[in-house]
Amino acid sequence: MALSDADVQKQAEEEFNIEKGRLVQTQRLKIMEYYEKKEKQIEQQKKIQMSNLLNQARLKVLKARDDLIGELLSEAKQRLARVVKEPPRYQALLDGLVLQGLYQLLESKVFIRCRKEDVQLLRNSVQKNIPIYKAATKRDVEVFIDQEGYLAPEIAGGVEMYNADGKIKVANTLESRLDLIAQQMMPEIRVALFGVNTNRKFLD
């Protein structure tokens, strides 16, 4: 049975509407997919930006902490000069530094360099420590005080000690001892100043 013109037109309209609906749905899905992708990209960019900002903030905090520790160490070095101005206290300190240097070197000949103004105090230390060293190590030692090359004037005090050929050196200046102590105590210093770092798994 042949379809009337009205039926053909109606069927064509239905097919057109179905096709139109399919195309609209396809385009809608494509648009939604596009915007979802864009949204994810924006979210990712936000995360990267936030991470960069956090890292910059962390670096600023770390630098500020390091600057503070640097200032404290600088202040401590300035205070070393006070120790030197108390002769009995400085003599006792010098005695300990010289004896420690002798034990570290364990050489038959030792050369010691000090500040120009410390020569007499150093002589006292050497005379006092040689018998102590010999008794403890059962070794002989000759100690020579270098009176041609002194420690730099800006050094607060202490000594530098060398073996006979100068290849082995023990730096026992007040500054070098402070640096060593600061290095060993850095974890405790950081905790005392800034509290425990909850992100840190291992201590130095």
Q: Choose among 75, 63, 65: nearest CA to 178.
A: 75
pLDDT of residue 100: 95
- pLDDT truncated to tens, each residue of the chain (204 aa)? 566 777 778 887 888 888 888 888 888 888 888 888 888 999 899 999 888 888 888 888 778 777 777 777 777 777 777 888 888 999 999 999 999 999 999 999 999 999 999 999 999 999 999 999 999 999 999 999 998 899 998 899 999 999 999 999 999 999 998 888 778 777 776 776 777 776 655 554
- φ/ψ of residue 128, rounded to 5: -75, -40
What 3-state class would DSSP assign to 136?
A: helix
Domain boundaries, the chain: 1-85, 86-184
Helix 119-137 vs helix 87-105: crossing angle, to nearest 10 = 40
Domain 86-184 has CATH 3.40.190.10: no
The pLDDT of residue 1: 56
Q: What is the pLDDT of residue 7?
A: 75
Residue type, 134: K
What pLDDT is attached to residue 67?
76
Q: Give the per-residue pLDDT at 25.
A: 87
pLDDT for residue 99: 96
Burial degree of 101 (CB within 10 A; 0-12, 13-18, 19+): buried
